[in-house]
Amino acid sequence: MPKFKVGDRVERIGAIVPTYMRDGVVKAVIPHNDLPEHFTEYDVDFKFVVARFYESQLKLVGAAS
């Protein structure tokens, strides 16, 4: 089961994260059924760009309502 769902607000985690890509909204969940669960990918909308990240690169800021 994916950790995040469409509409969740997430934050990128890591040592070097540009300010404009720090906080975004999950727009799509891309599961990989043949791989471990932590390899689920997410398309995240950061207002200026949509980018794809693995679950381990994100943390939940606010759940979708």
- Ordered by start, the domain boundaries in the chain are 9-62
pLDDT range class, residue 1, cuts 50, 70, 90: confident
Segment 36-49 shows an average pLDDT of 89
CB count in 10 Å sphere of residue 23: 16
- What confidence score (pLDDT) does residue 24 get? 95
Segment 10-19 shows an average pLDDT of 87
- Residue 12 sits at φ, ψ, to 5 deg, of -70, 140
Q: Which residue is listed with tokens 């994916």?
A: 2
pLDDT at position 26 over 80: yes
- What confidence score (pLDDT) does residue 45 get? 96
Alpha-carbon distance of 14 to 26, in angstroms, equals: 18
Tokens of 8: 């969740």
- What confidence score (pLDDT) does residue 14 get? 81
Which SS3 state, helix, strand or coil, does residue 12 take?
A: strand
- What confidence score (pLDDT) does residue 33 get? 81
